[in-house]
Every structure is written in structure tokens, then in C-alpha cells.
Amino acid sequence: MTTLFGLCDCNNFYASCERVFDPTLHGEPVVVLSNNDGCVIARSNEAKSLGIQMGDPFFKIRNFVEHKQLYAFSSNYVLYGDMSDRVMQTLSLFTPNIEVYSIDECFLDLGDFYDVDLFKYAWEIKRTVAQWTGIPVSLGVAPTKALAKVANKLAKKSAKANGVLVLTEPYHIEKALQATKIEDVWGIGRQYAKFLKNHHINTALDFTNASESWIRKHMTVVGVRLHKELRGQSCLELDEVAPPKKGICTSRSFGKKLTSFNDVQEATASYAARCAKKLRVQKSCARLVTVFVQTNPFSEHDKQYYNSKTICLPVATNSDMELIHYASLALKEIYRPSYYYKKSGVIVTDIVPERQIQYDLLDTVDRDKHTKLMKVMDGLTDRFGRSKVQVAAQGLSKSWILKSDYMSPCYTTRINELPVAYNLK
Amino acid sequence: MCNAKVIPISSYTLEVFSFDILDQINIPLYASYVSAGFPSPADDYLEDRIDLSKYLVQNPTSTFMMRVKGSSMQNANIHDGDILVIDRSLKATDGLPVVCFLDGEFTVKTFRKTNGKTYLYPANPAYKPIEVTEEMDIRVWGVVVWVLHKPVKL
């Protein structure tokens, strides 16, 4: 059976989401900042042309922003998450099998579409996503996933392709491999790229011309798989369902430095509650809870401190109350007064499916009651928004909350933040 | 050959089947218990209660909402404070209310096509229609499919 994959990638996804609801940003340089408005994590093409790099700290570009030469946004993951869902659901109408690879990338199984005019079909996909969601996408189509990645990259780069590239003819595939630098190949890290260049392998084409045994010797079975994929032999299938996560971590930098136990405890309790919620969404429970705290390693004047503590629970749980309780116990052991804390986090591991919990003979917790309560709480959260009902330990002051001074409204998920149509003309 | 599996899709004619509805399907609870007395004569006739969001939103992935500010569409029954349900997958055709992006703002107008010319009409005699020319940077953002108006207490 012949295989055929499409890789659909949203162009400058975060910036594009902002542009859908503020079209004045079209053609303007836009950047999106990391949590806490720390540094640049996404750039529009115009921002790239301004010379702004990924990871540039915000203070370095503040001048541009203040002079309106650059538009900066705090990351609005509520908005980006919803827009991503919309793009993926639109894509799923074009083929029954898709693999959501990341928030802005999706593989499409086009194996049954060889008889279709692929170029036309790919354009139809691109056009439909743009019309329905407002998000511009690029599409690469090829016989394997690795080649689809190559096609996608070229589709984005080449003005002639204009966002769509179909690689099915051997001659076209060869040309594309030749135009792809080895360091741009999917799965080739910096170290391997350096190693391969030392052996005069500079392009993806050079890589496919190397012998399989040589690759196996130097790059293990992963390299061999990539080698086969680039030669048009499909080894990587579509992963349609993401496996449940083995560990969940919720950790953030605080909006400002915290020193009192109560403040750090409120933040930590909220992170524990986030972990519990994530566990409930994937219908599993965790047995190990790790809490860590950390001062700001970049602040030279402050005394430095880092510590973590893991607690093993008697029975695996996904209840807010239990996780918060144990996270607080762990925090009590590692908290030291008179430090300026910058970050804390909760990690839950030893995760088991909800239905496979090993109960404890001497367990005193009424688990049915917890389950019911959490169900009601999740229902209320869905209906009225986050943090309307919560465990009291999470606190109300929220002095630790993230800095996000440049956040756009959650246009698509909150009724009081809808975009406005001005009927004044 | 696997022609049978290929469905030519055009987004305009495509009838959307939304998968996310599946997990919302409520299985009706039978109104009576098996053992207690005579079964309710309505058991065989149970239907799902009307779900407004399903009714208002034909295509969830392309449907957005906006809030109205101003009165330039009041004669088309679009009032200040109303919520608009907008479907981006629909094509603007003559006579439909559309959200467009005009002079740096979203606004609602009636889309008009006459003699090869395109106009955006307000629905209030105090405002003038706008002729859309090639040079103008006017984009239709989506077609208004519902106007949600909360009645005021008189």
C-alpha cells in the first residue's frame, strides 16, 4: 500500500491568532511574550525582519513597543488553544485520520487520496482553513511524514509554492531534498548536524545517499528510520491518540518575588489544583507528589535557595483537596523564611488509570464523596469560568499571579470579552 | 482503485458533521422504572430537549460572536448591546448582513451587489452607504447568521 501524508502548519500561529481579531495588525510586526512577559516566544515575519530573535528579553524590545514600531502581546493560551481546536477540527473534515502534532501542526493521512488532484485538494484545505478560522496555513504533501515535513518547510519558504507543495514525483523529491539543509531536517539535532557536516553530509539529499549501515553505526535505529523515511519508505505511522501523560508538571514564575509562607503556599496550592484537573481530564490518578521552590538565580543580590520534596500518597488521587493537602505538607518541609522566592511547582508522577487504583485497607478518605465533589466543581468551572469555586487554600489575594500586561481578550471563550462591532458609521 | 472512498469536498456545499456533538449526546433517562406499575406511555416518544447552541451554530469551527456598539443598523433590527452570531464559512451575497473590517474597526453593514458594484449599507437614515472600490482595504470578516437581542423592560 502506498502511503501519503500531509503536514499542515499554521504560519506564525500566535501572531496570526491575534490578527484574526485585530486585522490592523496585518503587515505589522507582532511578537508574543512568554509567561510573565519575560521574553519573545513567537514572531511574525515582519518582527523577524526587524531583527528580533526568539528569546529576546522584553526590556530589549520595549523601546520598539513604546514607539508603536512593534506590537507585543502577553501569551493568551486560552485564545490560542481555542483557535488551534478550530483549525484541527476543520482539517479533520478533509480526512478521517489526523494526528495533532502540536498546537499549530497537524499530520493528515491522505493515503486514500492518490487518485485526487492533490495540488487542488491541498489548496482547498488551505483556503478553507483560512476562510473558516482566519488562520493562514502551509501544507506539505509527500509519501512519508519526514518528507511531508520537508515539503512543508519549502512550501513556507518558497514564494512560488506560496504555501502549498506536493512532493510525489521522484524528481521533485530529489530537488526538495537537495534544497533542504541537513540541520533543517526533522529530528536532526545540533550535535548530529555538526557530525554529519564533518562527514560532508550537508543536505537532506546527501543524507539519503549515505549507506544505511553507516547511518545505523553512527546514528542508531532512529537515524535509520529517518533515512528510510527520506528515501520514501514510510516507517512512522499516524499517532492518532496521544497516550496519557506519565508525569504532569504545573510550575510558573511568580509575578513578583514572594517571601511569606502564605503567598508561596497559595501559589503552590493552585498549581496542585491545576495538576489535579489535568489528571481528571485524562481520567487518571497520581501517587507521587513533588513540590519544588526556587529563588531567582539571575538576581545576584539575593540569597539563593532551591529545594524539592516528594511525598508518596497512601492512595493515588486526582482530588484537588488531597493533592493540595499533600503539596502543602511537602512545602512546609522545604520552605525557609527570608528568601525571595521566584518560582514554585508541583509535579505528579506514578500515574495510573482512575479505574486501576490500589486502595488501602486502612484508608479513611471517602473517595466517592471526593469524586462527586470534583465532578460538581469541574461542572461549575466549565459553566462560570476558572477559579469561581476553589479550595480555600488557593487563596484570594493571588499576589503571585503571572504578569500579563499586554494580554488580548479571550475573544472566543468569554462572553464579556467578545470583540466589538462598532455601528457608528 | 479506491475511488469510492474519495469524497470531493467544496467548502461551500459541504454539509458539516461536527464530531464534538457526539460526546454531548444525552441519553434520555426513561421516565419510569421497569418494575413499578405500568410503563409511561411516553417512553417510546422521548426526544432530546432543544439545544439552543446547536440551533444557533451550524458550523462550530467557523462560528464566532461579537458585541454590537452603536445604532447604524437599527432598522435592520441590530441594536446597541446585541450579540451577533457570525459564520465565517458563508459567502457574502446580496442582502445579507455582514461583519466587515473598515477603517481599523469591525462594523456591521448590509452587503449589496448591484450592476457589478459592491456597497455596504447601513440601516439608519442618519448614515450613508459606502461603495466598495478596488483601492479600499475592506474585508468581509463573516456573515451574521443570528442577532441575539435581550428585551428591555418598558
Size of interface A-B (CB pairs under 8 A): 105
- Across the interface, whether the CB atoms of A93 and B107 are under 8 A apart is answered no
Question: Which three cell numbers, joined as nine digits, stand for A247?
Answer: 508525569
CATH code for position A294: 3.30.1490.100
Residues A60 and A120 reside in one and the same domain = no
- Across the interface, whether the CB atoms of A112 and B72 are under 8 A apart is answered no
Q: Which residues of B touch A6 (CB under 8 A)?
A: none
Query: Does any domain span residue A243?
Result: no
- Strand-pairing partners, residue B63, are B87
- Across the interface, whether the CB atoms of A423 and B5 are under 8 A apart is answered no
Helices A77-91 and A118-133, interaxial angle, to 10°? Answer: 140
Residues A259 and A179 reside in one and the same domain = no
Return the residue of A nearest to B10 by Cα: A124
- Across the interface, whether the CB atoms of A86 and B61 are under 8 A apart is answered yes
Task: Give me the tens of pLDDT residue by residue for chain A, a chain 425 residues long.
Answer: 579 999 999 999 999 999 999 999 999 999 999 877 888 999 999 999 999 999 999 989 999 999 989 999 998 988 998 999 999 999 999 998 899 888 899 999 998 887 889 999 999 999 999 999 999 999 999 999 999 999 999 999 888 888 999 999 999 999 999 999 999 999 888 899 999 999 999 999 999 999 999 999 998 888 999 999 999 999 888 876 656 667 788 888 887 888 888 889 888 998 999 999 989 988 889 988 889 888 887 777 888 888 888 888 888 899 988 899 999 999 998 898 888 898 888 988 888 888 877 777 777 778 888 888 888 888 887 777 776 777 777 777 666 666 778 889 999 988 889 999 998 87
Give the homologous superfamily in CATH for domain B59-154. Umud Fragment, subunit A (2.10.109.10)
Query: Does any domain span residue A4?
Result: no
Q: Look up B109 and say whether it is catalytic.
A: yes
Q: Which residues of A touch B102 (CB under 8 A)?
A: 425
- Across the interface, whether the CB atoms of A423 and B107 are under 8 A apart is answered yes
Residues A288 and A341 reside in one and the same domain = yes
pLDDT at B12 over 70: no
pLDDT for the residue numbered A399: 66
Interface predicted TM-score of the whole assembly (ipTM), two decimals = 0.73
Return the residue of B nearest to A128 by Cα: B11
pLDDT at B21 over 70: no
| Number of compact structural domains in chain A | 3
Residues A212 and A276 reside in one and the same domain = no
Which among A238, A242, A239, A241 has a CA at the least distance from the CA of A4? A238
Return the residue of B nearest to A92 by Cα: B19
Question: Which three cell numbers, joined as nine digits, stand for A95?
Answer: 480526512
Please state, in angstroms and rounded to a whole number, the distance separating the CA atoms of residues A32 and A34.
7
Q: Nearest by CB to B5, from A89, A112, A131: name it.
A: A112
Please state, in angstroms and rounded to a whole number, the distance separating the CA atoms of residues A278 and A289.
14
Beta-carbon count within 10 A of A179 CB: 16
Q: Which residues of A touch B129 (CB under 8 A)?
A: none
Nearest CA to CA, how far is B105 from chain A (Å)?
A: 7
pLDDT for the residue numbered B109: 95
Please state, in angstroms and rounded to a whole number, the distance separating the CA atoms of residues B45 and B67.
39
Residues A124 and A194 reside in one and the same domain = yes
Residues A221 and A164 reside in one and the same domain = yes
Question: Which three cell numbers, joined as nine digits, stand for A360?
Answer: 488501602
pLDDT for the residue numbered A242: 59
Q: Which residues of B touch A24 (CB under 8 A)?
A: 104
- φ, ψ dihedrals at A321, nearest 5°: -65, -45
* H/E stretch holding A381: helix A367-384
Alpha helices in A43-144 (DSSP H): 45-49, 58-66, 77-91, 118-133
Helices A190-198 and A212-230, interaxial angle, to 10°? Answer: 120
Please state, in angstroms and rounded to a whole number, the distance separating the CA atoms of residues A324 and A170.
58
Q: Which residues of B touch A113 (CB under 8 A)?
A: 6
Residues A292 and A328 reside in one and the same domain = yes
Query: Does any domain span residue A48?
Result: yes
Of B91, B109, B117, B153, which one is the catalytic site residue?
B109
Please state, in angstroms and rounded to a whole number, the distance separating the CA atoms of residues A401 and A397.
9
- Across the interface, whether the CB atoms of B70 and A92 are under 8 A apart is answered no
Q: Rounded mean pLDDT of B113-119?
A: 89
Query: Does any domain span residue A413?
Result: no
CATH code for position A21: 3.40.1170.60
A402, amino acid identity: L
- Across the interface, whether the CB atoms of B11 and A124 are under 8 A apart is answered yes
Of B18, B54, B72, B113, which one is the catalytic site residue?
B72
Q: Rounded mean pLDDT of B59-69?
A: 95
Question: pLDDT-based confidence at B17, cuts 50/70/90?
Answer: very low
Query: Does any domain span residue A126?
Result: yes
Domain boundaries, position A24: 13-78
pLDDT for the residue numbered A122: 95
Query: Does any domain span residue A423?
Result: no
- Across the interface, whether the CB atoms of B99 and A131 are under 8 A apart is answered no
Residues A91 and A64 reside in one and the same domain = no
A155, amino acid identity: A
Please state, in angstroms and rounded to a whole number, the distance separating the CA atoms of residues B57 and B24.
15
Query: Does any domain span residue A421?
Result: no
Q: Which residues of B touch A424 (CB under 8 A)?
A: 69-70, 72, 107
Residue corresponding to grid cell 477559579? A387
Residues A218 and A94 reside in one and the same domain = yes
Statement: the pTM of the whole predicted model exceeds 0.80: no
Nearest CA to CA, how far is A96 from chain B (Å)?
A: 11
Residues A68 and A87 reside in one and the same domain = no
pLDDT for the residue numbered B11: 47
Residues A163 and A267 reside in one and the same domain = no
Nearest CA to CA, how far is A161 from chain B (Å)?
A: 22
Residues A220 and A86 reside in one and the same domain = yes
pLDDT for the residue numbered A253: 83
Q: Which residues of B touch A137 (CB under 8 A)?
A: none
A→B interface, C-beta within 8 Å: 23-24, 85-86, 89-90, 92-94, 112-116, 124, 127-128, 131-134, 411-412, 415, 418-425
Please state, in angstroms and rounded to a whole number, the distance separating the CA atoms of residues A219 and A217.
6
Q: Rounded mean pLDDT of B21-29?
A: 52
